Every structure is written in structure tokens, then in C-alpha cells.
Structure 1
Amino acid sequence: MPTMEEQHFEKEQQNSTEEYKAFRGSEKVDTVRPGRYKSDRWRWFVSIALYASALVLGMAISVLGPTLEDLASNVNENISNLSYIFVGRSSGYAGGSLLGGILFDIVNPHMLLGLSLLITSSGMFGTPFCKNTWLLTALMSSVGMSMGVIDTGGNVLILDTWGEQAGPHLQAFHFSFAAGAFVSPIIAKLLFGHKPGKNASTDATTMSENSSSTILPFSHSTRSFPTSMWAYVVIGVFVLLVSLSFFILYFCSSPISSRKKTANGKQVFSKRHNTLIFLLSLFFFFYVGSEVAYGSFIFTYAKDYAGMDQARAAGLNSLFWGTFAVGRGLAIFIAACLSPGILILLCLVGTNVSSLLLLLFSRNEPVLWTCTALLGVSMSTTFPSGISWVEQYTTVTGRSAAVFVVGAALGEMVLPALVGFLLGQVQNQPLLMYLAFGTSVFTSVLFPVMYKIISQERVPG
């Protein structure tokens, strides 16, 4: 005769088995968080706000590169002394991703994203008027932290809003980021570039004269900074408007969720949840690190190793990021037809073929152009497809998203720095192509390992 404790234990085991079967497809248990609006129209409102947040996030991140020279003159420093603001921003980004992962599970996501965008907007507005190097670094670090919160929270909110239909929307979210990164240099250099007849040295001289008589770290004279600094003000306005849209969403309705849950309303996690999330973060470490390293050093590689002139090398660099953005745009429609796993496999095949040819024919210009374009398209959809893929097997919470976003951020910091260091140590070797091929092989091995781990799960009982 079983005791009451044994009966209770058996009942818990039976409930767990039924919940697991429901999650794996034996039954369908869909519950929605209580909210005033549960229609597709409301979900589209949330999605459009998220796309806009990704757009301004891409703009805010990429504007630093084309304006770095003017930013250096604005604080009376040379570019080499100012380069550590990238480290400050990246460190803040990683910290913000972790913080956002924790807060996203306990704070209203609309309010959290609205506040983060408001901080980003303040940082954009303050950057042109900042005259102190250390204060500028601190400002960039705070902006990076808010960006990390937006990146982590945006991915999870897309999953929360659309559930099993999130694939195309994740692709659209990341395409918006790429579009913003493409538009930002145009705003900085074409719209607010130096006026004809006026050069950077004139701006720098004016800046030096004005800053010598300035005690405060901020100056409010609109004549004291280069015209490209107005790009920060314009982007700040865009970010502010997007932040207001999230505050409107917060006051109009509580968030909704289309994710599968158990019968008792709890989210269901794979038994190998932690292992999956860790391996995915490792996967993103090498994938994002390779992507950023290739995009950062292909100009130098083409000019110094392949013997291209500056114009053609710059064109090759633009081709990579252009095909990258186009690939993300096409993936919005492709993701509606193909599963995330198939998309990842296609991307891995593309990266392996293109990186191998780039390594074998490292100085062949036609191969460089063709395979760089193929590599850009192949890399474009890997990140959002990876998130969609893992969501099929376990629940991606804010903490989970923070882990793989931090993994991606660390890869973005470590692998390009490694390539830069080795370029000064090893001469006349296609180091960039070694990295591209090595990371593509590693990720191609790691993905089947993750699939094997999750496929070993069986419905208990």
C-alpha cells in the first residue's frame, strides 16, 4: 500500500509526463498572457515598434565609425587615443545584455524597452556636445548598455508575441538592424558631411579654439563641432520617437504571449535547456566574431594582400555588407517556407563553400568578389534562424537570450582583435581566410552536435 508521499510523487510524475507530451506535440496547449488586445492587429503594432527599435539600434551603432575622426577632433584627441571608446561601448553592451536578460523576466518589456531607448536617445543627443574624452567613453558605455538591453529584449519579445510564427518576424527584426547600419553612414557623411570649401582641419582648429576656453565638459555652442555631429542629433530624435511608441504600448495594454505552456500555465523547458543555450552561445561566438572580423578586415586584406587599389577594396567591403543586408531581407520571406533548421544548414553550406574557395584562391580577384557576396548572403540569416531553431525545443527567456547575446558580443570583441594582433605578427598569409574557414567548419560541426543532443530527448513514460 503506497504512502501518501509516494502517491503524491507518482501524481507529480504523471503531470510532468502529460505536460512534456503537450509541449512535444502530443497535445496542443496554447495559453495567452492576459491582455486587453490579443488580435493579430495588436501583434503587428508591437512588431512594427520592434522593427523600428532595431532600425535605430543599427543606426546608433554604425554612426560611430564614419564620424570617429570628427568625434576625435571634437574632444581634441587623435583617433588612436579615442579608439578605446569601442571597448567601452562593447563592454556596456555585454553588461546590458546580461542586465536586460534578468530584468526582462520581471519587468514589463514595453516599459523596459522604452526606458532603454530613452537612455540611448539621451546618449545620442549628448555625444556631439561632449568635450571630455573620459566622459565621452562613459557616455558610450551607457549607450552600449542600453543597446544590449534592447537587443536581448527585442529578440525575446518577438518570440513572446508570435510564438511558433516568429521566424519571419525575427528575420525582419534583424533585417531592420542591417538597414539601419546601412543608412547611418549615409546620414553622417552625405547628409551632414563637410561642406564644400570647408575641411576637417578647419573644423578641428575651430574646435581647439573653442574648447580651450571651455571649462565644462559640455559646450552648447552649435559652431564648436563638425557638421557630421548633427547625425547624432537626428538619430537621437528617431530613437526618442521610437521610445515613445513603447510607452504608448505600455499604457494601452499588457504584453501578450503566443508561446506554448503547460496546463498549469508554466513555461516548458527542455531537460537539456542549459546545455542547448550554452552551445548556442558558443555557436554565436564564432559566427558573429567571424562575421565582424571579415567585415572589418576585408578592406585591409584586399588592399595589402590581394593587391587591390583602395576603390576596389572599398567596393569589396561594401559588397559584403550589401549582400548581408539583402540576405536578411530575402530571409523574411524564405523563413515562411523553410524551417529554421533547414535555413541554418543552407547557411552553413554556403559559408563552408565560400570560405574554402576564398582560402584556396586567396589572391584571385573574381573569386574574391563572387565568394565575398556568397559569404555575406550565407551569414546574413544565421543569427535569427538560430534563435528560432532553439525556440522549437525549449523556452527562450530573457536570461537565456542574454547568454547567447553575450556570447555573440564576446565573439565580436575577441576574434577581430585576434585578427588585428596576428596581422602585425604574421606577414604574407591569408589570416582572414583561415579564420573564416576555421569558424565555418567549427560551427558546421557544432550545429549537428546540438541537434543530436536535443533529438536524444524522448517523451518520458
Structure 2
Amino acid sequence: MVKIYHFYLKRCEREITRGDDMLPAVSTQTKAEYQNKEQNRGIWSYALLTAISLARIGGGLFVALHGPTLLTLANNVGTSVGSVSYLFSGRSFGILAGGIATGFIMRKFNKMYTFGASTFILAVVVSVTPWITQLWLLVSVVMLGGLVFGYLDAGMQALILQIWGEKESRGLISGYHFMIAAGAFMAPFIAQPFLMQEDESVCPATVPPIEQIDNSTNTSQLLSSSDSTPAEQAPINPVVWAYLICAVFLVVVGFYFIFLGCLGTEKRIRSVRKELVEVRREDPVKMVAPLFALVCIYYFFCVAGEMAYNSYIYSVSICSELQFNVNDGTLVNAVFWIGFGSGRLAGVFILKYLKPGLVITINFVATIILMIIVCIFGQSHAPVIWTVTFLYSFFQSTIYPAGVSWVSQYTNMSRNYTFVFSIGQALGSMILVTTGGLIFDLYPFGVMYMVLGCSVVNAGAFACMTVEGRRLAKKRALLGNTYSASNTLMT
């Protein structure tokens, strides 16, 4: 259509030179309208992408803040790291439920308003998390945060695919996932100054169990020490301020979404991008069910390995034989997000020139080799942990967005099927990340062995996805040829 229009403009210019008095006014007006539409498209598109990017940064803060403050949350509820890690299960269950509900909510309600409301709820969840002293309540509140995060994650990704289409959205999807890394990168630095002020942010393994207290201790001394404890504690846990800073940021983002909703931003963008909207029909469930099952397995281990590393690297570095201090533990957690964000940013450009399948293959080879190195040498050589943490997160970062682009090549994932990604990642976080907490209680460095296993199985799942994707493409081509042949016979 654009080529035809430009041809029309050139024709109008030739008519003007011939002295036609009617065409100059028409061509000038049409050209001005076209330029105005192009300008408006850019303005509204940038406004929407800015809102989505800010929301992803807020989501990164929500997800990553639990990692460096995990020991603090365990102390708040009076339990071990293995027990408090059930909050990851609660969060993942909420992400799963939110992802499944995405299609229904996006069809029934205004997307900008629901994105804004979800961001407000996430702000409330973040602000109350460090005040909770009961494990069941902590898990329930974080589950609510996972619910709205799951909707935001799946909903905004689906909106990008709908508006920009599969090919043009490849770089945008990678940038979309880069923004959550940017927020996650900021989380350790926001928490670090407050963790340094907290006396209780120590490895639980260093705290002697109650059973080992000397029985000869005077009961009156125990009573007097317990009575004096509340007076010695600070009225507000310093880590609270880190959560409140993140909550304020989310509130601002929520108001921005509401503002865009009042302006009708989505309709304005769609009105000038009709030719780019995702219009492919969705395949029947029976046709794509095997591929979807493999995609769930792929994201099960992809997200589980990624989250296990970033959630426990702070605690592992402190509580294992590495014996990092709080400052070094926070920095190595930040190094993970530096590498992760760098990889996501590089993916914005890499996925424009390389096919998603090739990018995924390179990443799997690199992550498996790196995790083998860290499992052999990491516990006794601190430089290995620093180096591998950056490189592993760099290569791991594009496995998720490249997977989205890869699957979108074979079937439309921008509408009712968008929840498939959420199922895999939620189940992986729910089961394996929590399992990592139990492994941590037994052997802190054992979490790294679990991450290696996730990378190996993930590579195998992608190999199976490649075979199924080719089979699906051949089946679709065969059905297309059969349909064309039947039409030929009828004519």
C-alpha cells in the first residue's frame, strides 16, 4: 500500500508540472496527512513502549529484590532459607494464574487501565513484604504479586506481538526482556546500603540451634535477655526502605498507564498500523499441542535455572566455602544482572540479523560449558564465580526472548496461546527454585549443580522442539497444498 501511495504521489507531481490545477491541492493535502500520521505513529508508539519499559523495570525490582533480601525475610518469619523459599512457589503459582487469565482480561477490559491497576497492586505487595512475620502470609502476599506480574508479563508481550507483528517485534521482544534485567540490576544496589545496616543479615548456618544452648544457662538470664531484645532492636528494619523505594516507582508507573488509557493510546497506534497488526489465524489446539508441551518444558528449565542462579547466588556466596561478606555477596548478585542486562541489550541487535534457533544453540553450548567450570572450580576459586556469573547470565539472557521469537515463527502466539510461556516459567519457578532452597539447606553450593542440570535438560528440550517445529511446518505446507489442489479441481 505504501508503494502504491508513493507511486500516486509521483504521478500527482507529474500532473502538476503539466498545469493541472486540481491535483496540487489534493496531493499536498494527502501528503501532509500521510506525514502527520507517520509522526503521530512515532509519538504514540514511543509513549506506549516507554510505559511498557518502565513497568518491566518495576517487575524486575519485584522479582530480584527477594534474592539479596532472602536471608532477611527468613529472619523476619523465623525460619530457614529452605522454608522461606516457598515464597518462590507462591510467586510462580501467581504468575501461572495471571498468565492463564491474560487472554480473557485483555478481551474484556481496557489494556492500559488493567496494566495501571496491576502495577498499583504490585506496589502494595512490594511495600508490605518486609513487614510480614508469618510464613503463610508472606507466601500469600507474594503470590498476589506474582498474579499481577504474570498478567503484566504475558499481557504486554502479547500487545507488542499484536501491534508490531512477529518479524518486526523480534528486537522489541528482546528489548522488552532487557528492561526486566535493568530493574533486576538495580535491586541489589538499592538493597545494599540497607543490608549493611542490618545486624541480622548473616548466614543462618552460623546461628547455633536452640538445642545446642547450654542447659546450665540460668533461666533468669534467658528471661532478662529476651526482655531486653525488643529494646535493642531498631523500630524499623532498614531493609523496609529498599522495598518502599521500589513501591513508589511502581505507583508512578501505574499513574502513567492510566494517563495513556485516558488518551486512547492503543487505538491511536492501531489506527495507523493496521497493516502491521498480527492477523494470522491461530492453529487448532490439537495441531500445536505437542509443540506447546515441549515449549512448556523448555521454559520450565530455562526460567528455573536462571532464577535459581540469581535468587541464591547471594546466599551461596556467603554461606558456602567462598565465605563472601555482605558487600561482596551483593556485588556478585549485581554482576549477574549486569551480564543479564548486557545480554538482553545485545539480543536487541543480534536477533535482527541472526535466526532465533542459531542464537539459542550458541547460548546453550556456552551455558553448559560455563556451569561445568563453576561446578568443578567455583567453590575453591572466587575469581571463577565472578567471571562465570557474568558470562553465564550474558548467554542465558537471550534464551527466553529468542524462544518467543522462535515459537512465533511456527504459530501465532499473540492471542489466546500467550499463556503457554507463563505455564512453563511458572512451574519451573514453583518446583525447581523451591527445590534449590531445600538443597541450599543441605549443601549451599549444590544449587550450582542443579543449575547445570537445568541447562542440559533445557538444551535437550530445544532439540525436540526443533524436530516438532519442522514436522508442524511440513504438515501445514501439506494442508496448504491440498487446499490449493481442491480449489483447482473445483474451478
Structures share fold, TM-score greater than 0.5: yes
In structure 1, C-alpha distance between the alignment counterparts of 2:444 and 2:183, rounded to whole Å = 36
Distance 1:130 1:210 in 2: 20
CA distance in 1, matches of 2:471, 2:183: 37
Do the aligned residues in 1 keep the contact of 2:125 with 2:145 (CA within 8 Å)? yes
Counterpart amino acid of 2:453? L
Structure 1 counterpart of 2:139, which letter? T
Please give the alpha-carbon distance, in whole angstroms, between the structure 1 residues aligned to 2:137 and 2:175: 35
Report matched runs for 1:288-303 at 5 Å: 288-296=303-311
TM-score (ref. length: structure 2) = 0.70
Residue of structure 1 aligned with 2:343, choices 314, 327, 330: 327
Residue 124 of structure 1: aligned partner? 126
Which residue is 2:457 aligned to? Answer: 439
Structure 1 match to 2:182: 179
Separation in structure 2 between the aligned mates of residue 293 and residue 320 of structure 1, nearest angstrom: 12
- Aligned-CA RMSD value: 3.9
Q: Deviations over 1:185-205 (max 9, x none)?
A: 211232x4455xx7459xx99
User: Does the CA-based 8 Å contact 1:320-1:373 persist in structure 2?
Assistant: yes
Greater shift in the superposed pair: 119-128 or 46-55: 119-128
Measure the CA separation in 2 of the matches of 1:427 and 1:246: 42
The answer to whether residue 298 in structure 2 is matched with residue 283 in structure 1 is: yes
CA pair 103-431 structure 1, distance change in 2 beyond 3 A:
same
- Corresponding position of 1:411: 428
The amino acid that maps onto 1:277 is F
Aligned partners of 2:85 and 2:437 also within 8 Å: no
Alpha-carbon separation, structure 2, partners of 1:301 and 1:139: 26
* Alpha-carbon separation, structure 2, partners of 1:38 and 1:186: 38
Note the C-alpha offset of 1:53: 0.4
Q: Rate the CA distance shift 1:437–1:357 in 2: closer, same or farther, 3 A.
A: farther
SS in structure 2 of the partner of residue 336 of structure 1: helix
Q: Does the 8 Å CA contact 1:194/1:200 hold for their aligned counterparts?
A: no
1:440 Cα deviation from its structure 2 partner: 4.3
| Alpha-carbon distance between aligned partners in 1 of 2:41 and 2:119, rounded to the nearest angstrom | 26
Q: Where in structure 2 are the equivalents of 1:305-454 lying within 5 Å?
A: 308-310=322-324, 318-355=334-371, 365=381, 371-419=388-436, 421=438, 431-432=449-450, 434-454=452-472
Report what 1:252 is aligned to.
263
Opposite residue 175 of structure 2, the aligned amino acid is A
- Distance between the aligned counterparts of 2:341 and 2:161, measured in 1? 22
Equivalent residue, structure 2, for 1:12: none
Shift of 1:250: 1.5
Residues 1:170 and 2:187 aligned together:
no
| Shift in alpha-carbon separation, 1:260–1:391, aligned structure 2, 3 A | farther
Pick from 256, 266, 269: which aligns with 2:282? 269
Classify 1:270/1:342 alpha carbon distance in 2 versus 1 (closer, same or farther; 3 Å): farther
Matched to 2:254, the amino acid is S
1:61 aligns with 2:63: yes
Please report how far the alpha carbon of residue 111 of structure 1 lies from its aligned counterpart in structure 2 after TM superposition.
1.9
Q: Percent identity?
A: 27
Q: Distance in 1 between matches of 2:158 and 2:298?
A: 18
Point out the more displaced range, 110-119 or 446-455: 446-455
Q: 1:64-120: CA deviations, max 9, x gaps?
A: 333345445656x34556443333223222222222243223332222211111111
Structure 2 CA distance for aligned equivalents of residues 388 and 100 of structure 1: 19
Cα 1:114–1:428 shift into 2, 3 Å: closer
1:302-360: per-residue Cα shift (whole Å, max 9, x none)?
7898x544368876665444322211121122223333333223323323443455567
AA partner of residue 470 (structure 2): K
How many angstroms apart in 1 are the aligned matches of 2:86 and 2:473?
Answer: 44
1:70 & 1:298 partners in 2: Cα distance? 15
Whole-Å separation in 2 of the counterparts to 1:72 and 1:309: 19
Judged with a 3 Å threshold, the aligned counterparts in structure 2 of structure 1 residues 343 and 208 are, in CA distance, closer, same or farther, namely: same
CA shift at 1:128, angstroms?
4.7
**1:261 Cα offset (Å):** 8.8
Q: Note if contact 1:105-1:398 (Cα within 8 Å) is conserved in structure 2.
A: no
Judge conservation of contact 1:72–1:79 (CA < 8 Å) in 2.
yes
Q: Distance in 1 between matches of 2:243 and 2:174?
A: 27
TM-score normalised to the size of structure 1? 0.74
Q: Aligned pair in 2 of structure 1 residues 46, 432: CA closer, same or farther (>3 Å)?
A: same
1:236: how far off?
1.3
- The aligned amino acid for 2:100 is L
Query: Structure 2 unaligned runs (5+)?
Result: 1-36, 202-225, 485-491
* Counterpart amino acid of residue 40 in structure 1: G
Deviation, 1:235, is 1.3
- Cα distance, 1:244–1:304 mapped onto 2, change above 3 Å: closer
> Deviation of residue 399 (structure 1)?
3.5
The answer to whether the 8 Å contact 2:158/2:413 transfers is yes
Q: CA deviation at 1:133?
A: 5.0
- For residues 424 and 442 of structure 1, do their structure 2 counterparts lie closer, same or farther at Cα, with a shift above 3 Å needed? farther
Deviations 1:206-251 (A, max 9, x none): 995699xxxxxxxxxxx73212202222211111111111112222
Q: Deviations over 1:269-315 (max 9, x none)?
A: 2463443333222211121122223444567777898x544368876
Which segment is superposed worse, 319-328 or 229-238? 319-328
> Which whole-Å deviations, capped at 9, do the CAs of 1:160-188 have from their partners, x for residues lacking one?
23223111111111111111111112112
Question: Contact between 1:290 and 1:439, CA under 8 Å: does it hold in 2?
Answer: no
Q: Is 1:43–1:162's contact at 8 Å kept on the other side of the alignment? A: no
1:131-146 matches, within 5 Å, as: 134-146=136-148
